Amino acid sequence: MRILALDVGEKRIGVAVSDPLGMTAQGVKTIHHQGAAQALEEIDKILTEYEAKRVVVGLPLSMDGGESAQTERIHRFEAKLSKRFKKRATIVMWDERLSTMAAERTLLEADVSRAKRKQVIDKMAAVILLQNYLDAGKPLIEADS
Protein backbone atom coordinates (compact mmCIF):
# COMPACT_ATOMS: atom_id res chain seq x y z
CA MET A 1 0.00 0.00 0.00
CA ARG A 2 1.40 3.37 -0.99
CA ILE A 3 1.09 6.35 1.31
CA LEU A 4 1.05 9.96 0.16
CA ALA A 5 2.37 12.80 2.35
CA LEU A 6 1.52 16.48 2.04
CA ASP A 7 3.45 19.38 3.51
CA VAL A 8 0.79 22.05 3.06
CA GLY A 9 1.70 25.71 2.76
CA GLU A 10 -0.33 28.72 1.73
CA LYS A 11 0.92 28.71 -1.87
CA ARG A 12 2.84 25.44 -2.19
CA ILE A 13 2.29 21.84 -1.15
CA GLY A 14 5.20 19.43 -1.00
CA VAL A 15 4.23 15.91 -2.02
CA ALA A 16 5.98 12.63 -1.24
CA VAL A 17 4.98 8.99 -1.70
CA SER A 18 6.07 5.76 -0.09
CA ASP A 19 7.29 2.70 -1.90
CA PRO A 20 4.64 -0.08 -2.17
CA LEU A 21 5.95 -1.78 1.00
CA GLY A 22 5.69 1.42 3.06
CA MET A 23 9.38 1.51 3.96
CA THR A 24 10.84 4.54 2.17
CA ALA A 25 9.65 7.97 1.10
CA GLN A 26 10.41 9.65 -2.23
CA GLY A 27 9.65 13.18 -3.33
CA VAL A 28 7.04 13.53 -6.04
CA LYS A 29 6.55 17.23 -6.71
CA THR A 30 5.67 20.63 -5.35
CA ILE A 31 2.16 21.79 -6.13
CA HIS A 32 1.95 25.55 -6.73
CA HIS A 33 -1.67 26.50 -6.16
CA GLN A 34 -4.02 29.47 -6.01
CA GLY A 35 -6.45 27.83 -3.60
CA ALA A 36 -7.84 24.60 -2.18
CA ALA A 37 -9.86 23.64 -5.28
CA GLN A 38 -6.82 23.72 -7.52
CA ALA A 39 -4.70 21.89 -4.94
CA LEU A 40 -7.34 19.16 -4.53
CA GLU A 41 -7.40 18.59 -8.31
CA GLU A 42 -3.63 18.07 -8.33
CA ILE A 43 -3.78 15.77 -5.30
CA ASP A 44 -6.56 13.78 -7.00
CA LYS A 45 -4.29 13.14 -10.00
CA ILE A 46 -1.40 12.05 -7.76
CA LEU A 47 -3.63 9.76 -5.67
CA THR A 48 -4.81 8.10 -8.87
CA GLU A 49 -1.34 7.79 -10.37
CA TYR A 50 0.20 6.19 -7.27
CA GLU A 51 -2.94 4.37 -6.09
CA ALA A 52 -2.31 5.66 -2.56
CA LYS A 53 -4.71 4.48 0.12
CA ARG A 54 -3.59 6.82 2.88
CA VAL A 55 -2.69 10.52 2.95
CA VAL A 56 -0.52 11.89 5.75
CA VAL A 57 -0.98 15.63 6.22
CA GLY A 58 1.66 17.57 8.14
CA LEU A 59 0.25 19.26 11.24
CA PRO A 60 2.26 22.37 12.12
CA LEU A 61 2.21 22.39 15.91
CA SER A 62 4.21 24.90 17.93
CA MET A 63 7.27 23.66 19.81
CA ASP A 64 5.19 23.27 22.99
CA GLY A 65 2.64 21.14 21.12
CA GLY A 66 0.04 23.90 20.92
CA GLU A 67 -1.98 24.94 17.92
CA SER A 68 -1.79 28.21 15.98
CA ALA A 69 -3.62 30.00 13.19
CA GLN A 70 -1.58 27.95 10.72
CA THR A 71 -2.65 24.73 12.47
CA GLU A 72 -6.29 25.76 12.14
CA ARG A 73 -5.78 26.45 8.42
CA ILE A 74 -4.39 22.92 7.99
CA HIS A 75 -7.36 21.44 9.88
CA ARG A 76 -9.69 23.21 7.43
CA PHE A 77 -7.71 21.86 4.47
CA GLU A 78 -7.74 18.36 5.99
CA ALA A 79 -11.54 18.56 6.27
CA LYS A 80 -11.73 19.31 2.53
CA LEU A 81 -9.38 16.40 1.80
CA SER A 82 -11.46 14.06 3.96
CA LYS A 83 -14.69 15.10 2.31
CA ARG A 84 -13.36 14.69 -1.23
CA PHE A 85 -11.33 11.50 -0.78
CA LYS A 86 -13.15 9.69 2.06
CA LYS A 87 -13.99 6.70 -0.13
CA ARG A 88 -10.52 6.46 -1.68
CA ALA A 89 -8.05 7.12 1.12
CA THR A 90 -7.66 7.42 4.86
CA ILE A 91 -6.50 10.91 5.91
CA VAL A 92 -4.08 11.07 8.85
CA MET A 93 -2.69 14.17 10.57
CA TRP A 94 0.97 13.88 11.64
CA ASP A 95 3.12 16.24 13.70
CA GLU A 96 5.47 17.98 11.29
CA ARG A 97 7.47 20.03 13.78
CA LEU A 98 10.97 20.66 12.49
CA SER A 99 10.45 18.86 9.15
CA THR A 100 11.00 22.05 7.14
CA MET A 101 14.01 22.95 9.28
CA ALA A 102 15.44 19.45 8.74
CA ALA A 103 14.86 19.78 5.00
CA GLU A 104 16.60 23.17 4.97
CA ARG A 105 19.56 21.76 6.92
CA THR A 106 19.84 18.76 4.55
CA LEU A 107 19.83 21.02 1.51
CA LEU A 108 22.39 23.38 3.06
CA GLU A 109 24.68 20.45 3.89
CA ALA A 110 24.36 19.31 0.27
CA ASP A 111 25.44 22.82 -0.77
CA VAL A 112 22.26 23.41 -2.78
CA SER A 113 21.93 27.00 -3.98
CA ARG A 114 19.34 29.29 -2.38
CA ALA A 115 17.29 29.43 -5.60
CA LYS A 116 17.26 25.65 -5.94
CA ARG A 117 16.43 25.20 -2.22
CA LYS A 118 13.33 27.34 -2.65
CA GLN A 119 12.20 25.08 -5.51
CA VAL A 120 12.58 21.81 -3.59
CA ILE A 121 12.19 22.65 0.12
CA ASP A 122 8.48 21.77 0.28
CA LYS A 123 8.96 18.44 -1.48
CA MET A 124 11.91 17.63 0.79
CA ALA A 125 9.84 18.52 3.88
CA ALA A 126 7.13 16.12 2.67
CA VAL A 127 9.75 13.38 2.29
CA ILE A 128 10.99 13.94 5.84
CA LEU A 129 7.41 14.05 7.16
CA LEU A 130 6.55 10.76 5.44
CA GLN A 131 9.78 9.03 6.43
CA ASN A 132 9.17 10.01 10.08
CA TYR A 133 5.66 8.57 9.80
CA LEU A 134 6.93 5.35 8.23
CA ASP A 135 9.75 5.01 10.77
CA ALA A 136 7.22 5.32 13.60
CA GLY A 137 5.59 2.14 12.28
CA LYS A 138 2.21 3.81 11.90
CA PRO A 139 1.21 1.98 8.70
CA LEU A 140 1.47 -1.31 10.59
CA ILE A 141 -0.41 -0.07 13.66
CA GLU A 142 -3.36 1.87 12.28
CA ALA A 143 -6.22 -0.01 10.66
CA ASP A 144 -7.54 1.58 7.50
CA SER A 145 -11.21 2.37 7.17
Task: Give the pLDDT of residue 144.
Answer: 46
Q: Which H/E stretch holds residue 74? A: helix 69-85
Task: Give the pLDDT of residue 100.
Answer: 64
Is 110 domain-assigned?
yes
pLDDT tens per residue, range 4-21 = 999 998 899 999 999 999
Is 58 domain-assigned?
yes
Q: If you average pLDDT over residues 124-129, what whole number do you get?
A: 90
Is 8 domain-assigned?
yes
Is 12 domain-assigned?
yes
How many Cα atoms sit within 13 Å of 60 on the Cβ side?
18
Task: Give the pLDDT of residue 19.
Answer: 95
Q: If you average pLDDT over residues 107-122, what whole number do you get?
A: 67
What's the rounded Cα separation, in Å, for the pair 126 and 4? Answer: 9
How many Cα atoms sit within 13 Å of 51 on the Cβ side?
5
User: Among 86, 84, 72, which Cα is nearest to 38's?
Assistant: 84
Q: If you average pLDDT over residues 100-114, what whole number do you get?
A: 66
What's the rounded Cα separation, in Å, for the pair 15 and 36? Answer: 15
> From start to end of the chain, where are the E strands?
2-8, 12-18, 25-32, 52-59, 90-95
Query: Could you tell me the pLDDT band of residue 68, with boundaries at 50, 70 and 90?
Result: confident
Task: Give the pLDDT of residue 141.
Answer: 43
> From start to end of 68-116, where are the E strands?
90-95
Is 86 domain-assigned?
yes
For the entire predicted model, the pTM comes to 0.83
Range with lowest mean pLDDT among 35-49, 104-118, 119-133: 104-118
Is 47 domain-assigned?
yes
> Length of the chain in residues, anyone?
145
- Give the total number of structural domains in the chain: 1
**Domain containing residue 106:** 2-138
The CATH number that applies at residue 105 is 3.30.420.140
Asked whether 93 and 78 are in contact (CB, 8 A), the reply is yes
Is 31 domain-assigned?
yes
In the chain, the percentage of residues whose pLDDT exceeds 90 is 54
In the chain, the percentage of residues whose pLDDT exceeds 70 is 78
Q: If you average pLDDT over residues 24-41, what whole number do you get?
A: 94
Q: At what angle do helices 99-109 and 114-135 cross, to 10 degrees?
A: 130
Q: What are the distances in angstroms from CA 2 to CA 59, 106, 118?
A: 20, 25, 27
